[in-house]
A and B are shown apart, each in its own frame.
Chain A
């Protein structure tokens, strides 16, 4: 009596498992196929997005309605990319490609919820900031997410790069309205974690990149980088 019934149950369960397996296999295959077909396009889109940001922080005027192709051309014309020792440096040039307008380098570090990615540009003498932009993060919209707002990014522009204090901080984020020294900037109210993260990743990136870029300068390998004389 029990035998056939149990057998039937086992068959049903087995069918469920096989059915689910086949279905999952089928849908995964379809999704993978579509992903593969579009992967190149998506990579190019992201590349162009980054190129637009690099041009922007270097102070190159990029009209908002410009086509993707034009951005690639512009980037190729005005920016030289150098990847060495695990670091990436973008050198921005004037339109006639003769004089250096600044250096840009990536910013990366933990925020409150996840990693924050950004780009910072400094002038050829490495004395002040040209611009900064954060382009990928998982911070709370309306709180930490405000790091991408213009008022926050604009605070950095034109600030001098002088390490201060015991910790050799280039920038400190302090509660809004409390800034006294030139390198103290407004933090974001309600997003202390994000503000601390940004402060840390900006300072660490500067401490890491400035000597590295300067090393290049001393060796005289960068054209247009020696303006002092």
Chain B
């Protein structure tokens, strides 16, 4: 019983209630950091770390945190983890830290994290909260990586910095710029939702 529930918690975050294409959260960073796969990967991993750790911490403290000040507590917890990520990137991956610029710090205000803390972690025990965090974080990362895959491929002709397109390939400049992210994200949401719609119909029929 518990097993099935755990799996469904993870899948819900990853797909059924995916933060990016279902809830349209975290769009700001989704547009900003998806021009290169390596940046996107680091951003995705950072977010997975922050959302999972925050969820777990909020969950551990859920029975002693006074309800009135819970938002303040959540912000404190999230901000601490974000600063830890920021320091770690600056120390060990300085180039990527520069490329991600303010967006690492802005994870603090990423609606996905506070959303998960509020909606899930403060009412659930540690293990489901952990899964929920991982699920939502991965849901975010997967969509961003999909967008980045096409943006880097068409904008730079490379994947993870390795040239894959032939010499005659003309780079699509628009894919490098922010509007390219808008188009790509729109297409991704359209495509996955079209599949989602079919799934929903199938479920209704059942």
Q: Is B167 an interface residue (CB 8 A)?
A: no
Partner of B66, one of A19, A35, A45, A46: A19
Size of interface on A: residues with Cβ below 8 Å to B:
20
> Is A20 touching B73 in the complex (CB atoms < 8 A)?
yes
Closest chain-A Cβ to B146's Cβ sits at a distance in Å of 24
For chain B, residues 63 to 103, give those with C-beta under 8 angstroms from any C-beta of chain A: 64-66, 68-69, 72-73, 76-77, 80, 83-84, 87-88, 90-92, 94
> Is A38 touching B90 in the complex (CB atoms < 8 A)?
yes
How far, in angstroms, from A16 to B68 measured CA to CA in the complex?
Answer: 8
How far, in angstroms, from A23 to B90 measured CA to CA in the complex?
Answer: 26
Q: Is the interface of B mostly helix, strand, loop or mixed?
A: helix
Closest chain-B Cβ to A96's Cβ sits at a distance in Å of 31
Question: What residues of chain B lie closer than 8 Å to A8, measured between beta carbons?
Answer: none
The verdict on A49 contacting B94 (CB below 8 Å), with A19-B69, A31-B84, A38-B87 known, is yes
Q: Is A214 an interface residue (CB 8 A)?
A: no
Our count of residue pairs bridging A and B at CB distance below 8 angstroms stands at 48
How far, in angstroms, from A45 to B98 measured CA to CA in the complex?
Answer: 11
Q: Is the interface of A mostly helix, strand, loop or mixed?
A: helix
> Is A31 touching B73 in the complex (CB atoms < 8 A)?
no
Question: What residues of chain B lie closer than 8 Å to A142, measured between beta carbons?
Answer: 178
Partner of A45, one of B73, B76, B84, B94: B94
> Is A20 touching B69 in the complex (CB atoms < 8 A)?
yes
Question: What residues of chain A lie closer than 8 Å to B64, measured between beta carbons?
Answer: 19
Q: Is A27 an interface residue (CB 8 A)?
A: yes
Q: Is A42 an interface residue (CB 8 A)?
A: yes
How far, in angstroms, from A217 to B127 measured CA to CA in the complex?
Answer: 71
How far, in angstroms, from A223 to B178 measured CA to CA in the complex?
Answer: 50
Partner of B80, one of A12, A30, A41, A42: A30
Q: Is A34 an interface residue (CB 8 A)?
A: yes
The verdict on A38 contacting B88 (CB below 8 Å), with A15-B66, A30-B80, A31-B83 known, is yes
Question: What residues of chain A lie closer than 8 Å to B92, measured between beta carbons?
Answer: 41
Closest chain-A Cβ to B55's Cβ sits at a distance in Å of 16
For chain A, residues 46 to 67, give those with C-beta under 8 angstroms from any C-beta of chain B: 46, 49
Question: What residues of chain A lie closer than 8 Å to B77, measured between beta carbons?
Answer: 27
> Is A45 touching B72 in the complex (CB atoms < 8 A)?
no
Question: What residues of chain B lie closer than 8 Å to A88, measured between beta carbons?
Answer: none
How far, in angstroms, from A24 to B73 measured CA to CA in the complex?
Answer: 8
How far, in angstroms, from A12 to B64 measured CA to CA in the complex?
Answer: 11
Closest chain-A Cβ to B42's Cβ sits at a distance in Å of 16
Question: What residues of chain A lie closer than 8 Å to B73, measured between beta carbons?
Answer: 20, 23
> Is A34 touching B87 in the complex (CB atoms < 8 A)?
yes
> Is B88 touching A23 in the complex (CB atoms < 8 A)?
no
> Is A42 touching B90 in the complex (CB atoms < 8 A)?
yes
The verdict on A27 contacting B76 (CB below 8 Å), with A38-B88, A45-B94 known, is yes
> Is A35 touching B76 in the complex (CB atoms < 8 A)?
no
Closest chain-A Cβ to B46's Cβ sits at a distance in Å of 15
Closest to A68 in B: B94
> Is A16 touching B69 in the complex (CB atoms < 8 A)?
yes
How far, in angstroms, from A45 to B88 measured CA to CA in the complex?
Answer: 12
Interface residues of A, Cβ cutoff 8 Å to B: 12, 15-16, 19-20, 23-24, 27-28, 30-31, 34-35, 38, 41-42, 45-46, 49, 142
Q: List 17 A-B contacts (CB under 8 A).
A: A16-B66, A19-B64, A19-B66, A19-B69, A20-B69, A20-B72, A23-B61, A23-B73, A24-B76, A27-B77, A31-B87, A34-B84, A38-B90, A38-B91, A42-B87, A45-B91, A46-B94
Q: A19-B65, A20-B69, A34-B84 are in contact. List 13 more A-B contacts (CB 8 A).
A: A23-B61, A23-B73, A23-B76, A27-B77, A28-B80, A30-B80, A31-B83, A31-B87, A34-B88, A35-B83, A35-B87, A38-B87, A41-B92
Interface residues of B, Cβ cutoff 8 Å to A: 61, 64-66, 68-69, 72-73, 76-77, 80, 83-84, 87-88, 90-92, 94, 178
